[in-house]
Structures are given as structure tokens and as C-alpha cells.
């Protein structure tokens, strides 16, 4: 067992390890007024960001099919002086002050004026309402309406429109030294024909795709297959931008501005009952779970003075902090809707831990141009409003009686450990038929070649593209049951930690030579390599807290075979864990998504709740702390036994640490993959 942990310390203390530091603090800088139009505006934006002890700017560079930049391949915004590159000038000024730049892209906007763009290559001129057939990308509502107020939008279900969004975002990643790419309006629009009635997405090409790919003809707003298909189109764009951007620049932060309309899931009853999921078809929780988004930036725009909106703000904050999976969230608040004191209160609640002890990585304010409600109402200048906001955030003031000020310090942006210390890799590719044509809307399967076990499935997008995120290292094949692929194998790839591999041809095997008839083979187990500890973990967080600190490797077992698994957690809190003491003892519990919180698993248990008996403390408690006392800054090595089910396949066990009788601790998305071979 020791060989699994060669990178781990040999005792319980973490001597010399640094605590994870940092907090993401940013302004959204929109392109509808002062911000990045010329060098003087850019210098003022950077200075204000620095003065606020913030460390990032989310700058709107792609607004309506054009760019506030020169090297993206998009038409340059008509308001920009000839030869001036706002994005490059912002990068130069901000990086000189240690401030990150995240390029903000409005994904679905085409145009909003009766006067068309001057550039003949603008998407509105090429693919707007005057275009016909497949050349028309315009989003249409079920009643035939083709714009929302003055806004023309492109339909994410149109394959060419979706590809344009991907190319617009990745061209910026490719051509500029941005720290992040930020997706806005990556969803279906408002203006639906009822609450929770998704009424957009009726571009004729999108409708034809849905019918061809699914065989369904019902495209009413109440058809769940049609609703899910449209939701999948948005998710597919996010997935492709994530993988293509990460392939270009492994350190890039891919983020999205996500909606939080109305009350949170605590009041609506579930995530699936929220407007974000059910009406705008923006499954941002699913994006975090899959790992196709590094940071969800909540547009949690609520008036704090109104009791119901105060509750909405807090509900969404709580939900987001507790649903980050292996990625992160930052809480965005509406400066323009609130007075300074209310905004500071919202900032404090944004960066405070949830009741379960989970933290967002930071805060984003909308917007730099409108720093408070008075500015938004044109009763004072933006400069005056910003000066008051900066004072309230960084200095003792009449706006905030709590000490120290919420932004008294000036931290760095926190690292993305899944990218700086990766343990998984990714795969992308294009499915091509034997005759060379693209396989759009086709189910593909990720297969472990030695066992033939299907690890994951995916449906290709409208161009045949597909991608898988967060794969254990190893070699995989991608197959399909499409009759257009002779033999069913699309290709093969080797996954490396932190890399985005590209599907290639299957490596030829050796030329066979005649051999004697082999004797029957016997099933043999294998154990994958252990996963080492991250370079840094949190430390000294008030209360009960835990940070994942490594684990043994995934096992491939024969039916009925058992294996011992080990996971390490570092006590990152200020309270110790005391064995056999309710309210202080640390356990690992079963968690979401498989088998679910406090549910029995087929991989182990105590014989109760339908679980097999492998010696767990209870069917929903995987392991108890092994040492009598695990103090702050010490490591606990939880050990438990798993058993392979009788049916071959791939099984998962998700776990999360908790202090029994007190609270669940941080969810790092820890799970075991157990592969069961055929006997």
C-alpha cells in the first residue's frame, strides 16, 4: 500500500505546506459607456480596479457580432478609432499592475439596430433576417417572433451559428494573452410565452436537426425531448469552448455569466424548477459537475433593500457555494441596483462561507460603469460613485460598520488546482464516417480497450465534434454504432494529465502468428497509480474543514473481488476531529451523484440498506477517522474496502467528509471508479 503514496508525507502533520491563498475580485466592464473605448478610459479602469484591491477585469470585447479588438477575425466595433486595439491596450495596462484580463463575449447577440453594420462580413449581414435557408441563423420564437425588443439573436441549435460562437471565443484565446474567456448570454433568451415555458429556438435549420437526429416531430414547448435537445445545444457550445480553449492555453480560466432569476432551488423545490434550467435552458450546475466550466460567475442581481430579493440573493449564493463540484463559483452582484452600503453588505455575504462551510472563490461587481444606483439614475457621475464604493470596500467608512473592511487586503487570484496540479486529462475529436462525411448528432462511446467497457457516452454536435472532460490517464477508443462507420471504431487516444488529447487513428496491432490454442484465460485485477497531494491546501479556516490530500489509484477487479482504498484529507480548519465523539468525529459519507447523499452503494457497506458487507461503519458511512485525534494541519488516512459487483461494467462511489452530528465538510468531488472485468 505504501507504494501508492510515494509523494505523500509519512506522518500526520503537514510541515512546510503553504495555505491556498487568494480571492477573485473583479469588475465587469461593459462596452455600453466608459470602460475600454480609448487609452485614458483604460488607464482609469485599471487604476480603479487596483484601488479597490481587486485583481481582475472582465471586459466586454465581443458585444454584437463585432470586437473591441483587432486580431480576433471579427469585424472591429465601429466606435473604435482606426488602429487602436482596446483589448491589447487593456492587457498591457492591467498586466503591468498585476491585474488579470478576462475577455467577455456575448454569445448569442447579432445586432440591435434598423441600420445594418457597415462591414459586409458582419454576421448580421451574412446570416441575419435577410438570409435564407441554412444561411439564416436568426433565433425565432414559437409564435414566429424573430427578435426580442430590438435584439436579433443567433440560434444555438443552428450548427453554423454554434460554430461561429466557438470560433469567436477561441480566436481571442489564440491571439491575445488573456487570462480568461468569459461567456455571457450563453443560453436561450428572456421574453418567453410563460414562466418555465422555453419558447425560443425555432430557427428552421435547428428544427430540422432535431427531427433528423431524434426522430421526434413534436416541437411544442411542453415536449421534454425538444426542451432537453435545446439545453444540450447550449451545453455543447460551452463544452467545445472549454476544451478548445484549454488545448490552446492550458492555464486559461473559462467562465460564464450565469442567471439566477427569482428564488433559488431552496424555494422552487429543485434546481430543475428554476428558470435558469427550465426556461433559459442554461444548466450551469451541470457544467460545473461535468467540469466544462472553470468558474460560474453568478449574475445574482437583486435589490438588497427588498426583503424578497434579499432572500433570493442569499439562496442563490448558498446553492452556488455548495454545488461547485471540482470547479468554482464567483458571486456577482448588481452595483447598479443598490446603494453603496447595500452593495458592501452583498459583497460580505458573497465571500462568506455557506452554512455547510463552502466558499466561493470571490466576487464580481456589475458594473464598473454604474457603481451604484445613484450613478445608474444619472444623479451623480460614475467617477464619484466609484470613489465612494472603493472607499467602502477598502477603508473604514459610514457604509460598513464591520472591521476590517471587506477588501482591506489585496490578495492574488486563487489558482485553479485542477489545472495547475492536474490529475485528469481530456479528449476531443470529430466523428467521421468511413466515406469521409461528418457524423452530426451521433452517439459515440468512450471505451477502455482492454476490457471493452464503455466509460462514457456523448452525442456529437452539428459538425460531428465531441469531447470528454476529466478522464483518468490511459488509452481509450471511441466507437459508434452508426452503420456509416465500418467496424464501428472512430479512433484512439492516450490521455495525459492536464492535456487535451486529439482523437487519432487506432494503432495497428502486431502481425499475428500461428499459435497453439490458448488455455482459458483467468480474470486478473489491476490497480492504477496513486494520485498525489496538491501543492497547496487551505489552512486555518474557522471551524470544521477538510481539504482533499490524495488517494490510492482506481482498481480494475474481477466479479466479487475486494480491494482496499485509501483517501487522505488534510484538516484545514481550526477545530480538531475527535474519534468516537458525536459532533467531533470525522467520517467519509456517501455523496452525489452516485450513489447519492447518505444512500447505499453496491460497492460496499455494512450489509444494511441493501449494501454488501465490506466492513464499513454503516451502509452510508464509508470510513471513520483512523486516529483518535486529527488536529488542525494534520492529515487523516481514511481506509475502506470495496467489492466488485457481479456484473461487468464501470461503477462510481462518490464520497464527502463530514463531522457526524455537526456538518458536512467541503465537497471536492472525490470519487472512486471501479471497473469490473468479465469473468
Global pTM reads 0.76
Cell numbers describing residue 57: 477585469
**Is 198 a member of any domain?**
yes
Say if residue 511's pLDDT is above 70: no
Lowest mean pLDDT among 108-122, 517-531, 638-652: 517-531
Average pLDDT over residues 238-250: 97
Average pLDDT over residues 108-128: 96
pLDDT tier at 519, thresholds 50, 70, 90: very low
pLDDT digits (tens, 9 = 90+) for 162-172: 999 999 999 99
The DSSP output letter for 462 is T
Average pLDDT over residues 539-551: 87
Average pLDDT over residues 326-348: 97
Q: Are residues 458 and 553 in the same domain?
A: no
Q: What is the pLDDT of residue 406?
A: 98
SS3 content of the chain, % helix, strand, coil (to 5): 25, 25, 50
3-state secondary structure string across 149-173? CCEEEECCCCHHHHHHHHHHHHHHH
* Count: domains in the chain: 3
Task: From 361, 391, 414, give the residue that closes a domain.
Answer: 414
Average pLDDT over residues 539-566: 87
Q: Are residues 328 and 395 in the same domain?
A: yes
Q: What is the pLDDT of residue 95?
A: 98
Task: From 369, 384, 414, give the residue that closes a domain.
Answer: 414
Q: Are residues 647 and 668 in the same domain?
A: yes
Burial pattern 266-302, b for ≥16 Cβ within 10 A else e, equals eebeebeebbbbbbbbbbbbbbbbbbbbbbbbbbbbb
Q: What stretch of H or E contains 555?
A: strand 555-557
Say if residue 562's pLDDT is above 60: yes
Q: What is the pLDDT of residue 650?
A: 84
Residues 123/154, Cβ–Cβ less than 8 Å: yes
Task: From 366, 387, 414, give the residue that closes a domain.
Answer: 414
CA–CA dist 335, 373 (Å, integer):
7
Residues 225/214, Cβ–Cβ less than 8 Å: yes
User: Pick from 542, 544, 536, 540: which is nearest to 665 by CA?
Assistant: 544
**Average model confidence (pLDDT) across the chain:** 91
pLDDT tier at 17, thresholds 50, 70, 90: very low
Report the Cα–Cα distance between both ends of the chain, in Å, rounded.
25
CA–CA dist 539, 635 (Å, integer):
12
**Cα diameter, the chain:** 91
Say if residue 9's pLDDT is above 70: no
| More confident call, 388 vs 538 | 388
Average pLDDT over residues 555-578: 88
Query: Which residue is listed with cell 439566477?
Result: 260
Residue 45's CATH number: 3.20.20.80
Burial pattern 380-413, b for ≥16 Cβ within 10 A else e, equals eebeebbebbbbbbbeebebbeeeebbbeeeeeb
Residues 129/113, Cβ–Cβ less than 8 Å: no
Residues 102/245, Cβ–Cβ less than 8 Å: no
Q: Are residues 53 and 88 in the same domain?
A: yes
pLDDT tier at 521, thresholds 50, 70, 90: low
Say if residue 532's pLDDT is above 80: no
Residues 311/263, Cβ–Cβ less than 8 Å: yes
pLDDT tier at 8, thresholds 50, 70, 90: very low
**Is 516 a member of any domain?**
no
Q: What is the pLDDT of residue 535?
A: 66
**Is 265 a member of any domain?**
yes
CA–CA dist 317, 404 (Å, integer):
22
Q: Are residues 338 and 483 in the same domain?
A: no
Say if residue 536's pLDDT is above 90: no
Q: What is the DSSP string of 191-226?
A: --SSTT---B---HHHHHHHHHHH------TT-HHH
pLDDT tier at 627, thresholds 50, 70, 90: confident
**Is 644 a member of any domain?**
yes
CA–CA dist 110, 137 (Å, integer):
9
pLDDT digits (tens, 9 = 90+) for 29-85: 999 999 999 999 999 999 999 999 999 999 999 999 999 999 998 999 999 999 999
**Is 508 a member of any domain?**
no
**Is 278 a member of any domain?**
yes
Residues 469/292, Cβ–Cβ less than 8 Å: yes
Lowest mean pLDDT among 47-51, 428-432, 633-637: 633-637
Residue 431's CATH number: 2.60.40.10
Which residues have a Cβ under 8 Å from the Cβ of 266 and sit 6 or more positions away? 315, 318, 319
Which residues have a Cβ under 8 Å from the Cβ of 35 and sit 6 or more positions away? 29, 41, 45, 59, 60, 368, 369
| More confident call, 576 vs 245 | 245
CA–CA dist 575, 542 (Å, integer):
8
Average pLDDT over residues 286-310: 98
pLDDT tier at 293, thresholds 50, 70, 90: very high
User: Pick from 135, 237, 128, 207: which is nearest to 461 by CA?
Assistant: 237
Q: Are residues 29 and 98 in the same domain?
A: yes
Q: Are residues 170 and 239 in the same domain?
A: yes
Domain interval for residue 659: 2-11+531-676
Q: Are residues 131 and 56 in the same domain?
A: yes
CA–CA dist 646, 457 (Å, integer):
22
pLDDT tier at 675, thresholds 50, 70, 90: confident
Q: Are residues 487 and 561 in the same domain?
A: no
| Radius of gyration, CA atoms only, the chain | 26
pLDDT tier at 533, thresholds 50, 70, 90: low
Q: Could you give the residue ranges of the DSSP H alpha helices within 215-339?
A: 224-248, 265-268, 275-278, 284-290, 307-321
Q: Are residues 144 and 84 in the same domain?
A: yes
Q: Are residues 456 and 535 in the same domain?
A: no
**Is 507 a member of any domain?**
no
State the Cα torsion 268-272-275-279 to the nearest 10°.
-150
Q: What is the pLDDT of residue 671?
A: 82
Q: Are residues 464 and 485 in the same domain?
A: yes
**Is 372 a member of any domain?**
yes
The DSSP output letter for 313 is H
Q: What is the pLDDT of residue 249?
A: 97
State the Cα torsion 622-5-635-588 to the nearest 10°.
-10
pLDDT digits (tens, 9 = 90+) for 431-490: 999 999 999 999 999 998 888 888 899 999 999 999 999 999 999 999 999 999 999 999
Average pLDDT over residues 113-138: 96
Average pLDDT over residues 178-196: 97
Cell numbers describing residue 373: 444606483
CA–CA dist 116, 343 (Å, integer):
39
| More confident call, 167 vs 548 | 167
Amino acid at each position: 500500500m505504501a507504494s501508492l503514496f510515494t509523494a505523500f508525507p509519512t506522518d500526520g502533520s503537514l510541515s512546510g505546506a503553504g495555505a491556498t491563498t487568494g480571492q477573485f475580485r473583479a469588475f465587469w466592464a461593459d462596452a455600453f459607456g466608459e470602460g475600454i473605448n480609448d487609452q485614458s478610459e483604460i488607464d482609469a479602469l485599471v487604476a480603479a480596479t487596483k484601488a479597490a484591491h481587486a485583481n481582475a477585469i472582465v471586459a466586454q470585447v465581443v458585444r454584437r457580432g463585432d470586437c473591441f479588438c483587432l486580431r480576433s477575425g471579427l469585424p472591429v466595433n465601429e466606435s473604435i478609432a482606426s488602429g487602436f486595439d482596446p483589448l491589447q491596450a487593456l492587457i498591457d495596462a492591467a498586466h503591468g499592475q498585476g491585474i488579470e484580463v478576462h475577455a467577455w463575449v456575448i454569445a448569442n447577440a447579432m445586432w440591435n439596430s434598423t441600420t445594418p453594420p457597415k462591414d459586409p462580413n458582419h454576421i448580421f449581414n451574412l446570416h441575419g433576417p435577410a438570409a435564407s435557408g441554412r444561411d439564416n441563423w436568426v433565433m425565432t420564437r414559437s409564435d414566429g417572433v424573430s427578435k426580442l425588443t430590438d435584439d436579433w439573436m443567433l440560434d444555438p441549435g443552428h450548427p453554423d451559428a454554434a460554430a461561429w460562437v466557438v470560433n469567436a471565443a477561441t480566436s481571442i484565446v489564440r491571439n491575445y494573452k488573456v487570462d480568461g474567456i468569459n461567456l455571457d448570454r450563453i443560453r436561450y433568451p428572456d421574453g418567453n410565452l410563460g414562466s418555465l415555458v422555453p419558447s425560443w429556438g425555432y430557427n428552421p435549420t435547428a428544427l430540422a436537426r432535431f427531427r433528423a437526429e431524434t426522430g421526434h416531430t413534436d416541437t411544442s414547448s411542453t415536449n421534454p425531448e425538444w426542451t432537453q435537445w435545446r439545453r444540450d445545444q447550449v451545453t455543447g457550445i460551452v463544452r467545445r469552448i472549454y476544451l478548445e480553449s484549454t488545448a490552446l492555453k492550458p492555464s486559461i480560466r473559462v467562465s460564464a455569466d450565469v442567471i439566477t432569476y427569482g428564488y433559488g432551488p431552496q424555494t422552487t423545490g429543485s434546481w430543475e424548477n428554476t428558470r435558469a434550467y427550465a426556461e433559459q435552458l442554461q444548466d450551469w450546475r451541470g457544467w460545473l459537475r461535468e467540469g466544462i466550466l472553470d468558474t460560474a460567475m453568478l449574475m445574482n442581481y437583486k435589490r438588497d433593500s427588498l426583503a424578497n430579493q434579499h432572500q433570493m440573493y442569499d439562496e442563490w449564493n448558498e446553492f452556488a457555494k455548495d454545488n461547485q463540484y471540482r470547479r468554482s463559483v464567483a458571486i456577482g452582484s448588481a452595483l447598479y441596483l443598490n446603494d453603496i452600503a447595500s452593495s458592501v453588505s452583498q459583497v460580505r455575504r458573497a465571500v462568506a462561507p455557506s452554512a455547510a462551510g463552502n466558499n466561493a472563490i470571490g466576487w464580481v461587481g456589475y458594473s464598473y460603469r454604474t457603481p451604484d444606483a445613484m450613478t445608474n439614475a444619472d444623479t451623480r457621475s460614475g467617477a464619484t460613485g466609484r470613489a465612494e464604493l472603493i472607499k467602502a470596500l477598502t477603508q473604514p467608512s459610514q457604509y460598513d460598520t464591520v472591521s476590517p473592511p471587506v477588501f482591506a487586503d489585496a490578495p492574488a487570484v486563487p489558482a485553479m488546482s485542477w489545472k495547475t496540479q492536474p490529475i485528469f486529462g481530456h479528449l476531443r475529436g470529430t466523428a467521421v464516417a468511413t466515406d469521409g462525411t461528418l457524423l452530426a448528432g451521433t452517439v459515440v462511446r468512450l471505451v477502455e480497450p482492454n476490457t471493452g467497457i464503455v466509460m462514457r457516452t456523448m452525442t456529437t454536435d452539428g459538425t460531428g465534434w465531441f469531447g470528454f472532460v476529466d478522464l483518468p490517464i490511459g488509452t481509450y477508443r471511441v466507437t459508434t454504432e452508426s452503420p456509416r462507420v465500418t467496424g464501428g471504431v472512430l479512433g484512439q487516444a492516450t490521455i495525459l494529465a492536464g492535456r487535451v488529447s486529439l482523437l487519432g487513428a487506432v494503432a495497428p496491432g502486431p502481425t499475428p502468428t500461428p499459435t497453439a490454442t490458448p488455455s482459458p484465460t483467468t480474470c486478473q485485477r489491476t490497480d492504477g497509480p496513486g494520485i498525489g497531494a496538491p501543492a497547496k491546501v487551505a489552512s486555518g479556516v474557522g471551524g470544521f474543514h477538510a481539504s482533499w490530500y490524495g488517494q490510492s489509484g482506481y482498481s480494475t477487479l474481477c466479479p466479487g473481488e475486494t480491494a482496499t482504498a485509501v483517501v487522505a484529507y488534510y484538516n484545514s480548519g481550526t477545530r480538531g476531529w475527535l474519534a468516537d465523539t458525536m459532533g467531533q468525529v470525522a467520517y467519509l459519507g456517501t455523496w452525489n451523484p452516485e450513489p447519492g447523499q447518505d444512500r447505499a452503494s453496491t460497492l460496499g457497506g455494512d450489509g444494511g440498506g441493501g449494501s454488501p458487507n465490506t466492513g464499513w461503519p454503516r451502509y452510508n458511512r464509508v470510513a471513520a477517522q483512523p486516529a483518535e485525534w486529527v488536529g488542525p494541519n494534520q492529515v487523516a488516512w481514511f481506509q475502506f474496502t470495496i467489492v466488485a459487483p457481479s456484473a461487468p461494467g464501470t461503477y462510481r462511489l462518490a464520497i464527502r467528509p463530514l463531522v457526524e452530528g455537526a456538518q458536512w465538510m467541503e465537497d471536492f468531488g472525490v470519487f472512486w471508479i471501479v471497473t469490473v472485468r468479465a469473468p
